[in-house]
Structure 1
Amino acid sequence: MVFLVCLAALVALAAANNFGQNIAQNRPTGSSSVFVNGVPPLTASSNLAVDGNFNSNFFSGSCFSSDVSANDPNPFWYVDLGSRVYVSGVTITNRGDCCADRLSGLRVEVFEFNPTTSAETPELCATLSGGVALGQSIGLACSPLTTGRFLRISKPGATSPLTLCEVVVSGGKFYIVFHLKILNFQILVNVPPRPPVSVGAIVSIPKYSPTTNIAQNRPVRATSQFNFAATNLIASPGLAVDGNFNTDFVNGRSCYSSAIGDLTPTLYIDLGAYYYINSIIITNRGDCCAERLRNINVSTLLKDPFRYLEFPKQCGTITGNVAAGADATVNCNQPTVARYIKIQKTSMVDSNDLLTLCEVQVTGRFASYVELTKKPVDNDVAQALAANGVFPNKGNVAILPNANQITPGRGF
């Protein structure tokens, strides 16, 4: 079936086709200054932070450092990722032979254009106040849909140099999503980035069925991500929806995991539009640690959890006893109308009891504009809104200026 496109607005979304890779390695870099040591001869160039060498001994020659703070009081380092990408997070390895406290007071920002010449306001990915041990790595997650070509790490008002032994950036390339308004229907269509489609073109519209996995390659956000520096593996959130069902965590490189120290690890999937949700299917890790898939709450949200206060509507729980490499299916009660899927580990038996998801599938059916305006469906949607504590006319939904003000347990 084809429809005449009346209105098309381009929206760039990330495709999870390279979320498990380091998209910064060996990319062009720059910095505000470079430390040069005469004895022994050593130049701590900016490219050393993305050379793929995780040796944290500064004098081994694989760490970047800015000049002393007297010469460079506002040091920065940046990497050119080559094109505009979706940036999901960054992992920084600290110096290991001394001076661990230098990895503090940092800002991680993303630019569309070169930060040395651009006057743009960057997107803030994260900040780092300190507390990273000698030679250790720390993973920082970016806000939803952070996009750009250049990633910059700066240290404003520094009293010591900016030292980075390795910087790993995870993210994804772009597909184009067309938001179409066709004969009073609003739908989302995934198409490849080329060839471009002009207004007035004829486009085939996919028909959604209850068996369609509507989560694949959708934007994902998590409270933390695990970094296995020994194998250059970043278990980033996008791996949970990349369509790869390999359950070998290390060799398959297609499983998401939270980081050690995250006491309430949570993963969110943005489906991009309203759907009637049938089920959420989670594939367990297969090489070891099957018992980690326990104490899991699976719920849905109507609103962006990083902008609105909303109680999730619970679909079900996973208490445990899921075999290695097996699937656990949570069926939602009807009607469940939602845009966001929330998967949260509610309790942990020890620090290694991580949230590990090798693949997440969501089955459901697209809720079209005409369906959502029918009276019978209106009642269902109203019930779903009420179940989530959303009463717009009574002011129960509050828009927040940033994600840090969201109360734990109410959407985040």
Structure 2
Amino acid sequence: MLSNGNHDSIYNKMSCTHTNADSTSWWRVNLKDTYEISTVIITNRADCCHERLQGAEIRIGDSTDVSKNDICGTITSTAPGSVHTICCNGLKGRYVNVVLPGKSQYLTLCEVEVFGVPTPECKRKPNEVNVALQGTAEQSSLYHDAGIASHAIDGNHDSIYNKMSCTHTNADSTSWWRVNLKDTYEISTVTITNRADCCHERLQGAEIRIGDSPDVSKNDM
């Protein structure tokens, strides 16, 4: 019942959340798009237990794993019904998380307000072309001949693996795929089509890196 516009901080008034005493208790809101977040305002419980919110981290990012998102701020002191304004200075993300890390504690929030603006939409210029089509592709390993690296730049958007238009590595310690564009380009947009028949979650957390190094870890995200 967060983000419902009701700032009542009495738990029995049905406007607060309450987790179990999890080893890491957390709450998050999916904004359904990426925003530049300026401010997060949190209203604490007033009738009891205000100290439970102490040490809570506000994390913002695009990962559903709350621990992998960036910390915007931490609540360092509390009082009954205290209102905490956290400045996030344009930190970008789809998920806003409130996390009590590393301790068994209930998490109760009586209102969370998130202020921000949508990130500018990525748009291609009229004269831009898909330069990947003329490149050569490689990947960290090959799971099966049906998943060769060049399938990702064949112009075929079919997302069913058995249709022979997807790539597939082994479960490498760091799996990667890359395309050599054969020249240096200013890249405006990268569009990736995920697998549709199964396993879509495997792509979660993938980083898109661009640069001149054949070592994928040394290129910029």
Counterpart residue number, 1:389:
none
Residues 1:175 and 2:120 aligned together: yes
Counterpart residue number, 1:122:
69
Counterpart residue number, 2:125:
197
Counterpart residue number, 2:110:
165
Residues 1:58 and 2:11 aligned together: yes
1:234-255 superposed Cα distances (whole Å, 9 cap, x missing partner): xxxxxxxxxxxxxxxxxxxxxx
| C-alpha separation in 2, matches of 1:200 and 1:61 | 53
Checking the alignment, whether the CA contact within 8 Å between 1:78 and 1:152 is kept in structure 2 is yes
| C-alpha separation in 1, matches of 2:7 and 2:81 | 9
1:78–1:110 distance in 2 versus 1, CA, 3 Å: same
1:197-246 superposed Cα distances (whole Å, 9 cap, x missing partner): 15559xxxxxxxxxxxxxxxxxxxxxxxxxxxxxxxxxxxxxxxxxxxxx
Checking the alignment, whether the CA contact within 8 Å between 2:24 and 2:105 is kept in structure 1 is no
Q: How many residues align?
A: 129
Counterpart residue number, 2:62:
112
1:351-391 superposed Cα distances (whole Å, 9 cap, x missing partner): xxxxxxxxxxxxxxxxxxxxxxxxxxxxxxxxxxxxxxxxx
| C-alpha separation in 1, matches of 2:53 and 2:6 | 18
1:157–1:174 distance in 2 versus 1, CA, 3 Å: closer
Counterpart residue number, 2:81:
135
Counterpart residue number, 1:244:
none
- Displacement of 1:103 after TM fit? 1.4
Runs of 4+ residues deviating >3 angstroms = 198-201
Counterpart residue number, 2:50:
100
Where 1:59 maps in the other structure, the secondary structure is helix
- TM-score scaled by structure 2? 0.53
Checking the alignment, whether the CA contact within 8 Å between 1:115 and 1:150 is kept in structure 2 is no
- Displacement of 1:159 after TM fit? 4.3
* Match among 72, 86, 91 for residue 146 of structure 1: 91
| C-alpha separation in 1, matches of 2:63 and 2:19 | 22
- Paired residue type of 1:145: G
- Displacement of 1:150 after TM fit? 0.6
| C-alpha separation in 2, matches of 1:200 and 1:57 | 56
Checking the alignment, whether the CA contact within 8 Å between 1:115 and 1:152 is kept in structure 2 is no
Checking the alignment, whether the CA contact within 8 Å between 1:64 and 1:165 is kept in structure 2 is yes
- Displacement of 1:88 after TM fit? 1.0
Give 1 or 2: higher strand fraction.
Answer: 1
- Paired residue type of 2:90: L
Structure 2, unaligned stretches of length 5 or more? 130-221
Alignment of 1:231-380 (within 5 A): none
Where 2:2 maps in the other structure, the secondary structure is helix
- Displacement of 1:157 after TM fit? 2.4
| C-alpha separation in 1, matches of 2:36 and 2:81 | 28
- TM-score scaled by structure 1? 0.29
Q: Percent identity?
A: 29
- Paired residue type of 1:140: I
Structure 1, unaligned stretches of length 5 or more? 1-47, 177-192, 202-412
Please provide the CA RMSD for this pair. Answer: 2.1
Where 1:102 maps in the other structure, the secondary structure is helix
- Displacement of 1:133 after TM fit? 1.8
1:266-298 superposed Cα distances (whole Å, 9 cap, x missing partner): xxxxxxxxxxxxxxxxxxxxxxxxxxxxxxxxx
